[in-house]
Amino acid sequence: MDGSASHLVDQYSDINDGHKAFQALLNWYEGDNLTSDTAEDVRSKLEKISLSTRYPASNYINDLQQYNKLLVQLGEEFSRSYTTTIFLRQITDPEFQLTVQLDIENKLPLKDCIDRVRSRERILSRDKTTSKNAYVNLRRDNVVNDVGNF
């Protein structure tokens, strides 16, 4: 009532056609132009994310999948091969470059690429944990040896 779209309802008040008024409101709020604008915003966000040393693989994969899902819902999705290309192209972390190269050479589908990146992330996480534990143990051993020399 007297809102920013009331002019749409007013067009059909003389003929009492609620269905046409409702369709006009749907078109106003969810029409092609709005869908295109929304899809363009989602594409822009999709192109800005990357798997880098500052942005973990799990977050990158989740964001990419969510943006891709939104594009599908809007009927504006990329082709499967282009989605895979975007996924691999935006991985900039040097720790994942071999995985990316092998995925490109083997022309793997997106699901397989995601599985391999997640696997690499788990390996890197284990390696970092192991190297931290080794460092702590070495320091502890050195401290004990230094105390024993006095």
Q: How far is C-alpha 134 from the geometric centre of its chain's CA atoms? A: 34
Contacts of 85 (CB under 8 A, 6+ apart): none
For the stretch 20-41, pLDDT in tens is 777 776 666 665 556 678 889 9
CA torsion through residues 140, 143, 145, 148, sign: negative
- Picking from 51, 74, 79, the residue whose alpha carbon sits closest to that of residue 64 is 51
Predicted local confidence at residue 132, as pLDDT: 63
For the stretch 101-130, pLDDT in tens is 999 999 999 999 999 999 999 999 998 887
pTM across the whole model: 0.65
Q: What is the domain partition of the chain in residue ranges?
A: 31-119
Q: Is the pLDDT of residue 142 over 70?
A: no
* Whole-angstrom distance, CA of residue 139 vs CA of residue 59: 34
Higher pLDDT, 27 or 75: 75
